[in-house]
Amino acid sequence: MNEIGKWLVVVGLVLVGAGLWLWLGPRIPWLGRLPGDIAVERPHFKFYFPLATCVILSLVLTLLAWLFRRH
């Protein structure tokens, strides 16, 4: 039961993080518009891939996971 409790806490934190991201994301002007994010706009076609944002998010999440595993 101890393992299930830990996983429920982790899933809850992920859901809270996703909710905050969706709620506060539009209010942060640089989020998703960093240098390195790929945006192609043509008539009848839009392609957007936030590459730099994904790399930074991955680094932050990796650091947090590393810190939590140390304890």
**pLDDT score of 51:** 92
Residues 61, 68: Cα–Cα separation, whole Å: 11
Q: Do 47 and 39 meet the contact criterion of CB atoms below 8 Å apart?
A: yes
Q: What are phi and psi of 44, to 5 degrees?
A: 65, 20
Residue ranges per domain, the chain?
Answer: 1-28, 32-71
Structure tokens at 69: 């595993």
pLDDT in tens, 44-67: 999 999 999 889 989 988 998 888
Instruction: Give per-residue pLDDT as tens, 10-46.
Output: 889 889 988 887 888 778 777 778 899 999 999 999 9
Query: Which pLDDT score is estimated for 71?
Result: 61
Q: Which two tokens stand for residue 36?
A: 């390195």
d(CA 26, CA 22): 7
